[in-house]
Amino acid sequence: MRIAVMGAGAVGCYYGGMLSRAGHQVMLIGRTQHVEAIREHGLLMDTAGFRAHIPVRASTEVSDIQGASLVLCCIKSSDTESAAAMMAPFVRPGATVLSLQNGVDNAKRLHAQLLRTVSPAVVYVAVEMIGPGHLKHHGRGELVVGPSAMSTEMIEDFVNAGVPVDLSDNVDGELWAKLILNCAYNAMSAITKLPYGLLFQNEGARELMRLVVHECLAVAQRESVAVPGDSWQGVERIAATMSGQFSSTAQDLMRGRRSEIDHLNGYIVRRGKSLGIHTPVNQTLYCIVKLLESAFTVIRR
């Protein structure tokens, strides 16, 4: 299978690397820093199960996604429109396009630019780039997709490459379930610079996370989204399975990069406002992350 990964960050490198390791022809599109390192040494994958330099093709040019029968969009939610506009001329007719992004509306936003079917995939993996072309995997790695998102052969290819794929006929609900976990952990981990496990050990933090979950579920309910499972058990599971992990928002802030917070707690706040639902804890967390981002700008001036 020829696969293009748009966005060679931690998530893109993990799935691109796993598929490449299983023999698929993968092209990673990313920033110069990672692309150069990957071209020189391959992708260094530090996972729970193995550590290896995986040969993968890599490029800084979006046009190099051409010819792929599967395109994995692993860009930041804040870059969805701009990346889609760049990709549009190069996505092959008939190619499967998956959005492996945080937030609940990326497939729709990609669709609006690409004018073709884009399916969301809910991503559960704890990864980070710890150096140029160097991926650290802390745990998990499964995807959840809708019944028509991928062909049976494609799913088999993923499973054979060590990537479990769960099917769900309520993938919107699954995206919301993931969004709620992101809302509970991402901002708090970023603001406090604490990993999930230490956050969850703190009684006050657990109480805030409960309030966040409660606010999110109130918005979901008014959006007529049926969130599957028990969201609080999901929060507990994250603490248990990814205890050493810092959120992607934390990683972004530590590196002075703009985060996806507009599409996490910020999304809940915006939807809440338009639906007349108070979301004060999400709003506080959102506002603080935005202030921390703006502080970078102030310091850099």
Beta carbons within 8 Å of 270's beta carbon, 6+ residues apart: none
Encoded tokens for 34: 């990672």
What radius of gyration do the chain's Cα atoms show?
18
Cβ proximity to a second copy, 72 vs 261, nearer residue? 261
Encoded tokens for 296: 């970078």
Cβ proximity to a second copy, 123 vs 188, nearer residue? 188
As measured in angstroms, the least distance from the Cβ of 238 to a second copy is 17
Place of tokens 């993996």: 125
3-class secondary-structure state, position 59:
strand
Q: Where are the alpha helices (DSSP H) in 242-279?
A: 248-254, 265-275
As measured in angstroms, the least distance from the Cβ of 286 to a second copy is 7
As measured in angstroms, the least distance from the Cβ of 291 to a second copy is 4
Cβ proximity to a second copy, 189 vs 248, nearer residue? 189
- Are 21 and 161 a contacting pair, CB within 8 Å? yes
As measured in angstroms, the least distance from the Cβ of 279 to a second copy is 9
Task: With CA atoms as reference, report the closest residue to 90 among 63, 127, 122.
Answer: 63
Q: Which residues bind a second copy (CB under 8 A)?
A: 188, 191-194, 198-199, 202, 204-205, 207-208, 211, 280-281, 283-288, 290-292, 294-295, 298
Cβ proximity to a second copy, 41 vs 214, nearer residue? 214
Angstrom CA distances, 241 to 174, 196, 245, 262, 280, stand at 18, 9, 9, 26, 28
Cβ proximity to a second copy, 170 vs 202, nearer residue? 202
Encoded tokens for 15: 């799935």
As measured in angstroms, the least distance from the Cβ of 103 to a second copy is 19
The span from the CA of 245 to the CA of 201, in Å, is 14
As measured in angstroms, the least distance from the Cβ of 192 to a second copy is 4
